[in-house]
Amino acid sequence: MAAPISTIGYEGATPAALIAALRAAGIETLVDVRALANSRRPGFAKRALAAALEEAGIGYLHLRALGTPAEGRAAVRSGKPAVMRRIFAAHLAGDEPQAALANLSDLARRQRVCVLCLEADPATCHRTLVAEAVGLPVVHLHPGVTAGSR
């Protein structure tokens, strides 16, 4: 039986805490499902994160097609996660997102994978919808949260 697929959000965490949580869970590859893999938070932009993960012995894969469209991100920011879910479900039905989902599904059946996005709460983040679409059990990881970093 395949291992569960994990998810993690970096909101309120440091890169070191994120990596520690991934290591503790035995994650082999972090799959970034942000449409835009940049961040104002030090250490979470694509290049910096990929380099830190490589140093920790964890692979990095950015599947941009599994990111939330701009209108979905706006819905989350305005406190409307149900609207985001509807927008993302329509997006996920597209050819490119379906190909990326197939890639993720194949990878998740061969190794321990964790899906990354920003939001700390998996209930308000599209990464949960991505993980559930893979069809494996889902485990939500929570990196240590530092005071004042939200």
The tens place of each residue's pLDDT in the chain, 150 residues long, gives: 678 999 999 999 999 999 999 999 999 999 999 999 999 899 999 999 999 999 999 999 999 999 999 999 999 889 999 999 999 999 999 999 999 999 999 999 999 999 999 999 999 899 999 999 999 999 999 997 544 333
Predicted local distance difference test score (pLDDT) of residue 60: 98
| pTM, to two decimals | 0.93
Predicted local distance difference test score (pLDDT) of residue 1: 60
Predicted local distance difference test score (pLDDT) of residue 21: 97
Predicted local distance difference test score (pLDDT) of residue 2: 73
Predicted local distance difference test score (pLDDT) of residue 113: 98
Q: Round to whole Å and give the CA distance between 66 and 72.
A: 12
| Long-range CB contact pairs, 18-22, < 8 A, 24+ | 18/143, 19/52, 19/53, 19/56, 19/58, 20/143, 20/144, 21/141, 21/142, 21/143, 21/144, 22/53, 22/56, 22/58, 22/114, 22/141
Take residue 40 and report the two structure tokens written for it. 């104002």
